[in-house]
Chain A
Amino acid sequence: MGFKKFLAKRAITMFGVLMATLLVTIALVGANMDSISKQSVALEIRQQVTNNKSLLSSFKTTDQLDSYVENQIKQRITSLGLDQPWYSPQRIGLSMYKILTLDFGHAKFLTSDSGSSDVKDIILEKLPRTILLFTTATAIVSVLGIFLGAIAASKVNSKIDKITSGFAIISSSFPVWWIGVLMIFVFAFLYPVFPARATPEISATDPGYWGSLLYHMTLPLITLVLIGFGSWAYLVRNFLVGVLQEDFIMAKRAAGIDEKRILYSHALKNAAPPIVTVLALSLSGSLGGAIITEAVFDWPGMGRLYFEAISVLDLPVIIGATYVLTAFFLASVFVADVLYGYFDPRVRRE
């Protein structure tokens, strides 16, 4: 199989997954969404009628008024296509098409900081903050992890190797969000160095906003790094130990090449494909984990938006956020796949 064909196949699968996730989400929230939109249509029309004085006075009895309103609601529901159930092919097709073109509609309750209720605006406002926090964390974690993992791999069974492995196992059994709560306890209560809530108090237009945002970001960032770098180092160590046992390394050693150079330029290069893959996957995985972490630190990103949308059942926001999260997740899975296929041609010949 050629590389292009491999790419095409992966891309099609990914698109299928995206559609499937959307379908599942729509299927799960569709019924609720229908009843909510019908209610809001009814409310809107009642308001229109009561505001229109001349129309109101033309009715003689309340029965007449009621039947008029009832008719209007029915007409509006039909024109919006709400008379058909959410699972009818047209409606699913329409909503899928809308979502694909990034038209998520308007949020029912939530608004962006600037006051817009357009789901697209809300998401575009929150997404950069999540990317800022989690990409920075992943960058720090991977540099630390690769460095520490290389040291551990060069001295297998040494003290530093054992400490790294032990720390990796122990740190990965604590939930990140619990460490977050603990960090808030220690650094916001015991020693009040950092704020307990990560949302900056000043408005986004203030010139000091970014400084404040970075200051509020410190505590969640430290938490994510602390919990993450151990398992990274362990992973890199395992990959490197495998590579270091191969014959070509032995040959390099026999040729008298400096041990450090073997480790950093030859071994690390050969361990790169799985490391890069895991890096791409962990980037996207951290986005999913962001929901709880952001809720703990009150970080104003996608995760908290998602959580808020769910707690008030703001369905357009839920669907929009799920779509964006899934798309990011799939994009990184795809990139990981492609990178692996590029580095290691054996994968393509599955």
Chain B
Amino acid sequence: MSFSARGIWHEFSHNKIGMTGIAILAILFSMSLIAFVTIPVENFKTWNDPASWLLYPKSAQPAWVNYFQSEKIPEHLILQPQSSSQQLDSVYVLTDSFAVNYQYDGFPSDFIYQYAAKYGGSPLLQLSVTRPDGIELPLVSTSLPFSNTETTYNSMLFSTQNVITKNLANAKSRYSFPLDTLSSEKIVFSKLTENKILKGNYLFRVHLYDVSGKPVLVKSNLIIGGKVYGMMGTDELRRDLSIGLLWGTPLALFIGITVSIGSVILGLLYGVFAGYKGKATDEVLMRFNDIIYAMPALPLLIILAVTIGNSIFLMVGFLVIFGWVGIAKVSRSMALQIKTLQYVEASKLMGQKDHKIIFKHILPQLLPYAFASIAISVPAAITTEAGLSFLGLGDPTFPTWGQILHDASSYSAAARGMWWWILPPGIMIAITGLAFVFMGQAMDVIVNPRLRR
């Protein structure tokens, strides 16, 4: 009845299912790593702050749906500028240009220029667009508020603004149809002969002129509104779901692994102690175990979350409270077996202290079982947390997958057909669960036949 780590690994590595589990887990861990590296923590903290998602589209499908469609849905584009600056005599000119190859079969819903300019004096800001057919349309020409000292000015230019409509009206002779009732994005992106989308390269340019000093554009983004966005789309609150899903991975792994390790350690110590001590201690401990075992976990978890609190760390604690019981039962019966073995009896006779016998002779024998139980109890922890979050009892500051599904259901995403909001979180929960189930199954095959011997 001895296990060597190498022997177990040898058997495990020949188990296809177990290795699949490990592979999935490796992918999940690398996703967590990507989340940590690519998405700044500030971004993740602003998950519930609507102000930080203003530039994103509302309820947009993932961009890749266009691959399955003959009519390409306009994609929501958030463009970064290419900056250049020059000096003409005493005038400083700063130019930000945004190039976009527009190949979609529909007009964008709007366009917005968002900027933050740092200047002293009163610079002039001009926005113009050069179309694929070479026509240049001036859109906005405005002077920024005067300031003696150096200030930073935040503002946005919307395609719905009157200035733009008026400027475009100057070009009406070029178009062979009336422009009066059309919104500006439908004029800028239209063919001259008929009001249909003109595909090709558009170049938006922003010029900032100043005489008193060199102006700087601290922030400069051009948003061309569309109905599809990114890898995973966005939700009703304009949040980029790919960020939520990516951040959900380390959170789910954290919850699952912490809860299962916590419960297994607690259950193992409790069970082994009860089994080793035997007699009245065992009886009392096991009756207490029975009581917790028979308590309905979910209702009590809900009450705990409502009355005590729903921070993610408290949640982990609550889940451990109900998670250790089964493991304690099994490890008690295993300890009962092991303590009758001769070498344990021998060390007892030699006057070895109880805790030494438990830690040196009994617990190591249970380690393989412990690892199998850790793997097996992870999925339950993840789904329970997801379930609680789904009911709206989770930690709202962390975008767990359950939390995303809760938001989806409170905006009745299912009844509105927003599949990209419902499918990915559930699939992620299931995949994560499966990885651990696979590993647990493989471990079980190794651990159980020997123990039954």
Chain A interface (Cβ < 8 Å from any Cβ of B) = 13-14, 16-17, 20-21, 24-25, 28-29, 32, 169-170, 172-175, 177-179, 181-182, 184-185, 188-190, 196, 287-289, 291-292, 295-296, 306-307, 310-311, 313, 318, 321-322, 325-326, 329-330, 333
> Could you tell me if A175 and B386 are in contact, using CB atoms closer than 8 angstroms?
yes
Chain B interface (Cβ < 8 Å from any Cβ of A) = 287, 290-291, 294-300, 302-304, 306-308, 379, 383, 386-387, 390-392, 405, 408-409, 412, 414-417, 419, 422-423, 425-426, 429-430, 433-434, 437-438, 441
Chain B contacts for A16, CB-based, 8 A: 287, 291
Chain A contacts for B391, CB-based, 8 A: 291-292, 295, 307
> Could you tell me if B294 and A333 are in contact, using CB atoms closer than 8 angstroms?
yes
> Could you tell me if A14 and B426 are in contact, using CB atoms closer than 8 angstroms?
no
Chain A contacts for B408, CB-based, 8 A: 181
> Could you tell me if B303 and A25 are in contact, using CB atoms closer than 8 angstroms?
yes
A173-B296 contact in complex given A28-B304, A184-B414, A292-B390, C-beta closer than 8 Å: no
> Could you tell me if B433 and A20 are in contact, using CB atoms closer than 8 angstroms?
no
> Could you tell me if B422 and A181 are in contact, using CB atoms closer than 8 angstroms?
yes
Nearest CB on B from A126, distance (A): 14
Determine the distance from Cα of A14 to Cα of B294 in the docked complex, in whole angstroms. 8
Determine the distance from Cα of A288 to Cα of B296 in the docked complex, in whole angstroms. 7
Chain A CB within 10 Å, residue with most, of B296, B302, B409: B296
Determine the distance from Cα of A206 to Cα of B150 in the docked complex, in whole angstroms. 75
The SS class assigned to the B binding surface is helix
> Could you tell me if B298 and A289 are in contact, using CB atoms closer than 8 angstroms?
yes
A17-B415 contact in complex given A169-B441, A181-B408, A318-B303, C-beta closer than 8 Å: no
> Could you tell me if B303 and A29 are in contact, using CB atoms closer than 8 angstroms?
yes
Name 24 A/B residue pairs within 8 A (Cβ), A-sorted: A16-B287, A17-B295, A21-B296, A24-B295, A25-B300, A28-B304, A169-B441, A170-B434, A173-B433, A178-B429, A178-B430, A182-B414, A185-B414, A185-B422, A188-B415, A190-B417, A287-B296, A291-B302, A295-B391, A311-B392, A313-B306, A322-B296, A330-B294, A333-B294
The SS class assigned to the A binding surface is helix
> Could you tell me if B296 and A185 are in contact, using CB atoms closer than 8 angstroms?
no
Chain B contacts for A292, CB-based, 8 A: 298, 387, 390-391
Q: Which residue of A lies closest to B302 (CB)?
A: A310
Chain B contacts for A307, CB-based, 8 A: 302, 391
Determine the distance from Cα of A178 to Cα of B389 in the docked complex, in whole angstroms. 12
> Could you tell me if B414 and A291 are in contact, using CB atoms closer than 8 angstroms?
no
Determine the distance from Cα of A313 to Cα of B291 in the docked complex, in whole angstroms. 26
B307 touches which one: A13, A32, A189, A295 (CB < 8 A)?
A: A32
Determine the distance from Cα of A25 to Cα of B297 in the docked complex, in whole angstroms. 12
Nearest CB on A from B86, distance (A): 56
Q: Which residue of A lies closest to B422 (CB)?
A: A181
Nearest CB on A from B340, distance (A): 16
